[in-house]
Structure 1
């Protein structure tokens, strides 16, 4: 029985856990591949699971500006600034939870649905290792593919130019996401996430926590470690423009 969503019996859909592999591939000026394993939560923003601290915690302070009373309120505020009203439609969020007091979410995804169940839009919330956040509003096609101009400094080796091509189908039994950064005159930088759904039960969470201890800390540490390796290989660092996360993180 699923023990996390309140005290109700298990049901199909979220909350769910996705043990996954994340792969980053840089092709120029040096080919470099980063690969690590972790696990992600899929939750319904209107029905957040009751999670066992300190193994997992999903908090509004870790998303958008961190000042809204709930993640749903923060997301609705962001959508309202873009003229979108979900009219109470469901929102599914894929993200890391806070573990042992630490969280780092390079990418949080929100699939936003109309009341009739149709997908209205997707919001991709990006965090960099400088403590900054930015949200992209996306309108995927029927295959889950969307594009967006890059507007946020993420890697110190890529300037803020080019555009993203994202394939973000809603998670089901399998999780298959991909992001390709296209820049003028450069081969694409690609990232992919592959995983398989597991029921969010206490034994499953405990097993994943033991298999991937300090998983979010390991993600942020791996990004910094590989960044240092690339720097030592002579990859030039691009200047970071000033970025302020606005009230709605647009």
Structure 2
């Protein structure tokens, strides 16, 4: 996506359908609908005060120093990996804090250098235990990259295997896919499909009415599906202390996974 984001707030809203498909050790599929924001970290939306309760973008809801801006924290993370965007644009896809709650299973940052050249993509993952982890990706021109799994997300999967991610920068349509590959084959797939709308007062109010308490509903739905899997007898893998690494992901050209 080039040029400024459209709409009165310089941001976009995507009406989304999110699908989770587990294929081992038993098959389990569920979907939910929500809406996501696409924002420029240098120009976050400035909502009028009556609507701020429906959308706030806080540093405290993401990794880093809560006294710094989202952009400053991301730049610090990238600098620790030897990357300097030199002020280039960063687009973030995420839930905003709404009605006092936020939960982002995945937040994606598309990072550009001067002139709009793509430099890297960051996939930030949160689990329902309050922990988070960032994957630094070097996607190919189609938005495809791979990364070893390093973070405990679901209690029904150990921390092993690797991800194959398709994270092209959104345009009129949003189309993201994350596969978890383990030694026995593909174990899990998550997809996010959405349609873009310019963010403004009417668009936000319509989305909030269609998806009331959207971010709370997402976290509750994930927990509900976990209870269903427990009742189906799926064993739980104990959670261990998370130790972030600085490993950078590969593009598909660097490593071709075994299907």
Structure-to-structure mapping, 1:22-101, within 5 angstroms: 22-51=18-47, 52-101=51-100
Change (3 A) 1:144 1:108: same
Whole-angstrom distance in 2 between the partners of 1:169 and 1:66:
28
SS state at 2:115 partner: coil
TM-score, structure 1 normalization: 0.91
Give the 4+ runs in structure 1 shifted more than 3 A. Answer: 9-14
Deviation (angstroms), 1:34: 1.4
RMSD (Å), alpha carbons: 1.8
Question: What's 1:147 paired with?
Answer: 146
How far apart are the structure 2 equivalents of 1:234 and 1:143?
A: 39
Match of 2:237 in 1: 238
Match of 1:116 in 2: 115
Offset from partner CA, 1:6-59 (integer Å, 9 cap, x none): xxx956995000000000000111110010000000000000001322111111
What's the CA shift string for 1:167-208, capped at 9, x where partnerless? 000000000000000011143310000001001011110011
Q: Secondary structure of the residue that 1:53 maps to in structure 2?
A: helix
Q: What is the aligned length?
A: 238
| TM superposition shift of 1:233 | 0.3
SS of 2:226's equivalent in the other structure is helix
The equivalent residue for 1:182 is 181
**1:27–1:188 CA contact under 8 A, matched in 2:** yes
Q: Provide the rounded CA distance (Å) in 1 between the counterparts of 2:124 and 2:66.
A: 15
Are the structure 2 counterparts of residues 10 and 169 from structure 1 closer, same or farther at C-alpha, using a change threshold of 3 Å?
closer
Identify unmatched segments of 5+ residues in structure 2.
246-259
CA contact (8 A) 1:132 1:244 kept: no
